[in-house]
Chain A
Amino acid sequence: MTNDPSMPLANDAPLGSGSESAIEPERYEFRAPAVHHFGLQRRDFFKFLGAGVLVVCALKQVAAAQESGAPPPGGLGFGPPLPKEISAWLHVGENGVTVYTGKVEIGQNIRTSLAQAVAEELRYPVGKVELTMGDTQLTPYDMGTFGSRTTPTMNLQLRKVAAAAREQLIALAATKWNVDAQKLKAVNGRVEVAGTKRSIAYGELVAAQQLTAVIPADDPLIPPAQWTVEGKSISKVDGRDFVTGKHRYPSDQTLPGMLYGKILRPPSFGATLVSINAPSFDLADNVTFVRDGDFAGVAAATEAAATRALNALQAKWNEQPQISNSDLFAYLKGNSVDAKGFEGAQKYETGSVDKDLAAADRQLHQTYTVSYIQHAPLEPRAALAQWSGNMLTVWTGTQRPFAVRTEVAQATRVPEEQVRVLMPDMGAAYGGKHTGECAVEAARLARAANAPVKLVWTREEEFTWAYFRPAGVIDVAGGIRNDGALAAWDYTNYNSGAAGIRTFYEVPSQRIVFQPTRYPLRQGSYRALAATANHFARESFMDELAHAANMDPLAFRLKNLKNDRLRAVFAAAAEKFGWNRAKPAPGHGFGIAGGFEKGGNVATCVEAAVDRESGFVKIARVVVAFECGAIVNPENLKNQIVGANIMGIGGALFEKINFAGGRILNAQFSKYRVPRFSDVPPIDVVLLDRKDIPPAGAGETPIVGLAPAIGNAIFQATGKRLRSLPMIPNGLNSA
């Protein structure tokens, strides 16, 4: 297919090549400011870390080469200034190995997979690699943990850093023993003379050393085919802390003298505070009351006292008229925003769409819709803030600690250097915790109270005041020739987003538009972003076209698909599922769908069983074939794929935010249904390992094939075509 580089659509890298641009050109990933310069000097590092070997990964290769020079043979430079833009570093000290990265652990298991990368290259026990993550004071700047970027970027960088450290340790031993470095081997935390009993532990080797190395981006690495630690399944490095309840999540943090915060929320979105009356509070409760513009909140000695104080506030609000979800889709279609540049419409066009559509043997026009849904991570937003003088420390759950530092500094009007944000491994996010609302609120209360304040959002707050996955309307028109070849494709997505919007099928004439609109609810990132919506529309529509062409849905896709990696996952999923062999039982249907996003290729087959009378739909089984380059940790990859598909069941079938008058009507788990044990079908995962392609992330893309595959299966079972996500919030009979 042709690619016009001037068209800034989300996946305009050559499809199937595995390449993608470094920054997601995606409006719903919150964008970050420029990289900060990092001010630590060599001396500071060793003062802080102790003697040893320090290897830093420089973001800018040129600068790194200039500033470090080539390391002298047999040892490292002693005096080169460190580069300013660092992405990670590793320290081998007398007491162990520590790695520092701004990435954070949110359940995607990177604390383990990154430790694995380091262990592999460093030849060191994986369980002994200490990772310090997402601490704005101790780790290098990082834009954030999202967009499935950790595996393609940080994993590679840490492998390089660890490989360099290994070489330096070998060089140190060579000097010490006065033997040829070629004869030395690094094995399990020791350097040994190959074929002899002579060996020395890393810790002993680095005693009293202060060596630094700077690694640019392209050092040789162990090729995936020779991996011994990576590519294997390793259990979660700190698993024991989780099964014993010892791990401290953001909401579990405490400090002596800590107060509990509560925030006064407006009755509806957009309401402004007119006046507020705070009664006098019980002295024993130690209540602090803060009003600052539209912000009002309290802090007190116990959570119960804070809640009492909050309930005692008498506030008057000025409310704005708001639309409700029954008007949503008409609203989105009727409120296009025409802006210039990144905020405006994005369009890709090739061939003559109108002409080819009109001339096609068959044409089809359909509209698909996608509702607002909530991430609802099981741990809601939480923060603990502590001021000491003008210095602020905040422990909080976020995917972007550095961005939260900026947000908190701006909100509290102190310089960023005076704010430290720490991110204890948290109770998940799925794209929903890019922001720092809770951290800002806790910081504001803590300053007024002159004491540390902890704030944990209630489930209802999380459902109401966090942001949502954008709703959208998608119009598609397609034309096919009698032989089943696609002739024209006309596709417009209103509001939901541009991720995964481009078609990977061969179509000579295409017009693909992302049209931003005004929107009623706060919206932001979500696992896989709009790729879920765009795959739902595209792959449902492809199914409709296949039926219109009287062709098997898989055969129809393959006829219009050249991309080898996608063909391979379609073939693998179909084979495992028995697409061409088995026929569905009465009341059952088969559906297939697939796609490409963020370096990953997925194909999903679903068997749905429908009870005609009750309309009850059961997903009988799912097969997912996935390929994202070389596999780093197969067990963890499967865990991510299965998890994404189970989460996807909710958005596909029943998850939906209901709202009216600026209020969320189902801000509770009792009213917002999420997938539970009994919703889970058998899920078979087929992994394709491409050792010749660098690994891409896998936390997101496996979700995109599920919804259209379910819809296509329901259609085959019942003849009913479902074009709205969620498809059956109230059962099939009322869909």
Chain B
Amino acid sequence: MANVIKLHVNGGVQVVSTDPRASLLSVLRDQLDLTGTKYGCGEAQCGACTVLIDGHPRRSCITPVGTAAGRQITTIEGLEQHGKLHPVQEAFLTEEAMQCAYCTSGMIMTAVAFLKSNPSPTEEEIAHAMEGNICRCGTYPRIVAAIQRASHQGTQS
């Protein structure tokens, strides 16, 4: 059953031997040790497992790894560039947009993709775009504030 699959992850190339139907989430976490991407539900309901595939936010828990072969995969570990955090990461820190922070990776990845499609969103647009991500600790208002902060930064720079 196992195939050899070539994955482009965070700018590098990884070759894994796996059943192509295995979830991208399990391959990232168990084979590539990229544990920043989290499991929260396994049914595309919570967003904790969100990664970018060719720049689009995808739920890695329901993405068969085979379908991600050859595409550009970005995980939370790949956002920081040369020791410099992505503006969304910075904004989450500045706004203290986390408690247990288990949802944070998925929130940040969803927000990064969203801000690309809508660089200056309103609060309602943010809430709407983020509706699929659960924060059980209830830090939603701070997450909205963080995304807004990152968006302003984005338009300024």
Contact = CB atoms under 8 A, between A and B. Distances in A.
A-B interaction: yes
Interface of A: 106-109, 235-236, 239-240, 242-249, 251-252, 254, 260, 302-304, 376-380, 425-428, 430, 456, 458-459, 635-636, 639-640, 642-647, 668-670, 674-678, 680, 683
Nearest to B135: A378
B100 A107 contact: yes
A430 B137 CA distance: 9
Given A244-B76, A376-B136, A669-B46, 9 more contacts: A109-B99, A244-B80, A245-B35, A245-B37, A378-B38, A378-B136, A379-B100, A430-B136, A640-B99
The 3 closest A-B pairs by CB, nearest first: A245-B36, A107-B100, A646-B138
Nearest to B80: A244
Contact of A379 (B85, B92, B102, B141): B102
A236 B93 CA distance: 8
Contact of A647 (B38, B138, B144): B138
A304 B98 contact: no
B77 interface: yes
Contacts of B5: none
A643 B131 CA distance: 17
B45 interface: yes
A150 B98 CA distance: 20
26 contacts: A109-B99, A236-B96, A243-B93, A243-B104, A244-B76, A245-B35, A251-B39, A376-B136, A377-B102, A378-B40, A379-B40, A427-B38, A428-B102, A428-B137, A639-B99, A639-B142, A640-B99, A644-B138, A646-B138, A646-B139, A668-B43, A668-B45, A670-B45, A676-B131, A677-B127, A677-B143
Interface in B131-157: 131, 133-144
Nearest to B102: A427
A243 B93 CA distance: 7
Nearest to B34: A245
A240 B108 CA distance: 13
B6 to A, nearest CB: 19
B99 A377 contact: no
B103 interface: yes
A645 B98 CA distance: 15
> Which DSSP category, helix, strand, loop or mixed, fits chain A's interface?
loop
Interface of B: 19, 22, 26, 29-30, 33-43, 45-46, 48, 75-77, 79-80, 85, 89, 92-94, 96, 98-105, 108, 126-128, 130-131, 133-144
A427 B48 CA distance: 11
A379 B76 CA distance: 17
Contact of B35 (A106, A248, A426, A428): A248
A416 B144 CA distance: 46
Contacts of B139: 639, 642-643, 646
Contacts of A647: 136-138
B41 A459 contact: yes
B42 A459 contact: yes
A244 B141 contact: no
B98 A239 contact: yes
Contacts of B48: 378
Contacts of A244: 36, 76-77, 79-80, 85, 89
Nearest to A669: B45
Contacts of B30: 260, 302-303
Nearest to B89: A243
B138 A677 contact: no
A458 B42 contact: yes
A657 to B, nearest CB: 16
Given A245-B76, A674-B136, A669 B41 contact: yes
Q: Output the residue of B26, B80, B137 with the most chain A CB within 10 A.
A: B137
B27 to A, nearest CB: 10
A304 B26 contact: yes
A252 to B, nearest CB: 4
A636 B139 CA distance: 11
Contacts of B126: 677
A251 B130 CA distance: 24
Contacts of A426: 100, 102
B43 A242 contact: no
Nearest to A699: B99
B141 A245 contact: no
A378 B37 CA distance: 13
A240 B93 CA distance: 7
Nearest to B33: A254
B76 A642 contact: no
A249 to B, nearest CB: 6
A428 B76 contact: no
Nearest to B48: A378
A699 to B, nearest CB: 10
Nearest to B75: A245
Contacts of B94: 235
Contacts of B133: 676-677
Contacts of B19: 304
Given A643-B139, A669-B46, A675-B138, A243 B92 contact: yes
A690 B97 CA distance: 27
Contact of B136 (A243, A377, A677, A683): A377
Contacts of B102: 107, 249, 377-379, 426-428
Contacts of A107: 99-102, 137
A287 to B, nearest CB: 16
A680 B100 contact: no
For A244, A425, A426, the residue with the greatest tally of chain B CB atoms inside 10 Å of its CB is A244
Contacts of A303: 26, 30
Contacts of B40: 378-380, 459, 669
B142 to A, nearest CB: 7
Nearest to A430: B136
Contacts of A378: 38, 40, 46, 48, 100, 102-103, 134-137
Contacts of A302: 26, 30
Given A235-B96, A245-B75, A670 B43 contact: yes
A619 to B, nearest CB: 13
A106 B98 CA distance: 12
Nearest to A425: B100
B137 A456 contact: no
Contacts of B127: 677-678, 680
B81 to A, nearest CB: 11
A680 B141 contact: yes
Contacts of B141: 642, 646, 680, 683
Nearest to A241: B101
Contacts of B140: 646, 675-677, 680
Contacts of A236: 93, 96, 98, 101
B89 A427 contact: no
A699 B93 CA distance: 21
A239 B105 CA distance: 12
A375 to B, nearest CB: 8
Nearest to A679: B140
Interface centre among B102, B108, B139 (most CB of A within 10 A): B102
B33 A108 contact: no
A425 B36 CA distance: 14
A304 B33 CA distance: 16
Contacts of A249: 35, 38, 102
A246 B36 contact: yes
A249 B29 CA distance: 12
A302 B29 CA distance: 11
A378 B41 CA distance: 8
B97 to A, nearest CB: 9
B131 A379 contact: no
A678 B130 CA distance: 9
Contacts of A644: 138
A106 B101 CA distance: 9
